[in-house]
Amino acid sequence: MTKDMSYDVIMERRTEIMKTAVGIDYEIFESGSIAFDYERMMKETGYSFQEIKEIQETTGVGNTPVYELRNITQLARKFAPKGKGARIFIKDEAGNPSGSFKARRAATACYHAKRLGYKGVIAATSGNYGAAVASQAAMLGLKCIVLQECYDSRGIGQPEIIEKARACEALGAEVIQLSVGPELFYTFLVLLEETGYFNASLYSPFGIAGVETLGYELSMEFREKEGRDPDVVVITNAGGGNLTGTARGLIRAGARDTKIVGASVSLHGLHMASDTQFNKKSFTTGHTGFGIPFATWPDRSDVPRSAARPLRYMDRYVTVNQGSVFYMTELLAQLEGLERGPAGNTALSAAFYLAQEMDEDQIIVVQETEYTGAGKHINPQLTFAKENGIEIIIGDPSKEIPGKNIILPKDPSYIKIEELDLNKTKKSYIKNAINHVKATNATKEDLDFLVEDTKSNIEFVKTTLDELGISH
């Protein structure tokens, strides 16, 4: 008898399918209430920190250089008050085999798949992670399928996504491209079941643990070069794994005083799942369309419990506009001789402004860069935007309306940030956590978990629960 692979049946069995494809029984960490044992889940990935470092070193991942951006620092100081203008550094993750920090996640995931006897790996991603999985799979002799949300209903794909597909295919992966919509997750589940391949999820415990080496390296490098840890680390935030892993690595190194700032491109007003708006944005990751939903509910990912939980570690969350990131991409290339892709330059745009708030002797670090390529470059991105009716303006970026225009700064003094209300974001997360299990009351275990998962305090959690009518 043919197995029923209809949409409704597959979605009903998604937990079972994902459990089989990732090799983790998430239920053992659950208590049936709001809380689950996050730290136990992270510890029981089967690898020590030292083992993860060794796995990555075997395939040439990690130990990437740190550069001081002296010229950009001097430029920031021209617009800063006297005595302000922190030293700006970047960690150049473009030096990894696939050209981004995601090689750290992929190395651990692919090694784990090989160790468990899977014949291949599947990743659902717009690109950088797909290239990383394809690269690591090739090194380990594994088959690789990358599932990519690529086109709108007209069959038109964004230059950056097309470039990432090219990279995945060049590294030996089979790339399956879909239009925007709910079919992505359904197709992903069907492929996992039909192939029996490993789910190389971005959000597994060993995937996030792979990024811990990045944060740990940062601390060690600055202690060696500067005799201390960075004051601030700025991290481009999308699904939250980059921020979570890096922060955990810094904590592992003992850098508990380093402040963690998440930065996303503001795409306020655009709906990520809208066919008509899909090609109205110029960024495929690192934007608020991912950053906000995944912060307020991490478990919307492709595993039952996401190991990426950014609110546990974030001290501030800021946004920058699209035009500022394009401008900063050119600035980095022309002032520092480093041509890099848009993801890391999102954090760099924020760091440029944040440095002006800090003292001259302080250190602010942009935690990653990514490779650039034909589709990622600002010229095809801006050309594509024009073709889709987006007006390109030079002026005040604060006036930018995503989906209507892209405003490049008149000069560097126009690069600003917008502060997001973290308390509002945390309250949204608590509401979603309650709704997930349909809770009517919260136990002490729940309260402690919510305090940790929001990096808040017991008074904040209790007040929020009171507002939601939940007894505790």
How many whole angstroms from its chain centre is CA 410? Answer: 29
Is 406 exposed, middle or buried, given 0-12, 13-18 or 19+ CB atoms closer than 10 A?
A: buried
Q: Give the domain 7-20+100-203 fold.
A: Rossmann fold (3.40.50)
Distance CA 224, CA 209 (A): 23
Q: Which residues neighbour 253 within 8 Å (Cβ) at sequence distance 6 or greater?
A: 215, 216, 218, 219, 220, 229
Q: Which pLDDT band, with edges at 50, 70 and 90, does 379 fall under?
A: very high
**What confidence tens digit (pLDDT) does each residue in 227-285 have?**
999 999 999 999 999 999 999 999 999 999 999 999 999 999 888 778 888 888 888 88
Residue 192 pLDDT greater than 90, yes or no: yes
Q: Which residues neighbour 17 within 8 Å (Cβ) at sequence distance 6 or greater?
A: 10, 189, 192, 193
**What confidence tens digit (pLDDT) does each residue in 305-341 have?**
999 999 999 999 999 999 999 999 999 999 999 999 9
Q: Evaluate whether 7-20+100-203 and 59-97+206-419 have a shared fold.
A: yes
pTM: 0.96
Query: DSSP for 359-396?
Result: BTT-EEEE-------TTTSHHHHHHHHHHTTPEEEEE-
The percentage of residues in the chain with a pLDDT greater than 70, rounded to a whole number, is: 99
How is the chain split into domains, by residue range?
7-20+100-203, 59-97+206-419, 422-468
**What confidence tens digit (pLDDT) does each residue in 15-56 have?**
888 888 888 888 899 887 899 999 999 988 778 999 999 999
Contact 2, 178 (CB under 8 A): no
Distance CA 79, CA 106 (A): 40
Q: Give the domain 59-97+206-419 fold.
A: Rossmann fold (3.40.50)
Model pLDDT, residue 346: 97
Distance CA 182, CA 111 (A): 30
**What confidence tens digit (pLDDT) does each residue in 58-101 have?**
999 999 999 999 999 999 999 999 999 999 999 999 999 999 99
Q: Where are the alpha helices (DSSP H) in 297-339?
A: 322-336
Distance CA 99, CA 102 (A): 8
> Which one, of 280, 266, 288, lies nearest residue 381 by Cα?
280
